[in-house]
Amino acid sequence: MSHWLLVTGDLPPTFTGGIASWIEDLARALVGAGHRVTVLGRAGRDTAAAEAAWDASRPYRVHRMWTRSWQRWQARWVDLHGRSLLAGVDHVLFSTWALAPHLGARARARGLPVGIAFHGSDLTRLPSPPPALAAALAASTARLPVSAFLAGELARLGGQATAVLPMPLPLPAPPAVEPARAGLVCVARLTPLKGVDRAIALARALGEPLTVVGEGPEEGRLRALAGEGVRLVGRLDREAVGALQASSRATLLLSRADRDGSGAEGLGLTLIEGMAVGALAIGSRTGGIPEAVGPGLVLDEPEAPALDQVRAALTDPQAGARARAWVHAHHGPARCLATLEACL
> What is the per-residue pLDDT across 182-239, written as a single tens digit (0 to 9) for each?
999 999 999 999 999 999 999 999 999 999 999 999 999 999 999 899 999 999 999 9
pLDDT recorded at residue 273: 98
138, pLDDT greater than 90:
yes
251 inside domain: yes
260 and 310 co-located in one domain:
yes
148 and 192, same domain (yes or no):
no
Same domain, 128 and 16: yes
- Are 211 and 267 in a shared domain? yes
Q: Report the distance separating Cα 118 and Cα 114, nearest Å.
A: 13
Note the pLDDT of residue 31.
98
Tell me which of 165, 193, 210 is where a domain ends: 165
Question: 115, 137, 165 — which closes off a domain?
Answer: 165
229 & 316 share domain: yes
Summarize the confidence of residues 83-103 as an average pLDDT: 97
125 and 224 inside one domain: no
> In the predicted model, what is the mean pLDDT of the chain?
96
Residue 176 has pLDDT above 90, yes or no: no
Q: What pLDDT is stored for residue 50 in this prediction?
A: 95
Q: Choose one of 114, 130, 165: the last residue of a domain.
A: 165
Same domain, 144 and 21: yes
**Number of other residues whose CB lies within 10 A of the CB of residue 127:** 10
Do 159 and 190 belong to one domain? no
Map residue 275 onto helix, strand or coil: helix
Assess if residue 344 is contained within a domain: no
pLDDT at position 179 is 82
Torsion of Cα atoms, 246 then 201 then 237 then 194, to 10°: 120
**Pair 150, 16 in one domain:** yes
* pLDDT value at 23 more than 90: yes
175 assigned to some structural domain: no
CA distances in angstroms from 148 to 151, 154, 203, 300, listed in the order given: 5, 10, 30, 19
74 with 41: CB under 8 angstroms?
A: no
Q: Is residue 40 located within the same domain as residue 153?
A: yes
Q: How far apart are CA 288 and CA 266, in angstroms?
A: 5
User: What single-letter amino acid sits at 35?
Assistant: H
In this predicted structure, the answer to whether residue 245 has a pLDDT above a threshold of 90 is yes
Flag the least confident range among 128-137, 167-176, 202-211, 333-342.
167-176
Total domains, the chain: 2
Residue 179 within any structural domain of the chain: no
333 domain residue, yes or no? no
Say whether pLDDT at 247 is over 90: yes
Average of per-residue pLDDT across 81-95: 97
CATH code of the domain covering residue 227: 3.40.50.2000
Do 146 and 9 belong together in one domain? Answer: yes
Answer yes or no: do 60 and 200 share one domain. no
Q: What domain range includes position 313?
A: 184-328
Residue 278 maps to a domain? yes
305 within domain boundaries: yes
In a domain, 44, yes or no: yes
Helix (H) or strand (E) holding 37: strand 36-42
State residue 90's pLDDT score. Answer: 98
**Residue 115, pLDDT score:** 98
45 pLDDT band, cuts 50/70/90, is: confident
pLDDT band at 117 (very low <50, low <70, confident <90, very high): very high
Question: How many CA atoms does the CB half-sphere of 228 hold within 13 Å?
Answer: 2
Residues 6+ apart with CB under 8 A from 102: 75, 76, 78, 79
Q: On the CB side of 276, how many CA atoms lie within 13 Å of its CA? A: 20
- Residue among 62, 159, 170 nearest 118 (CA): 159
CA–CA separation, 187 and 131 (whole Å): 34
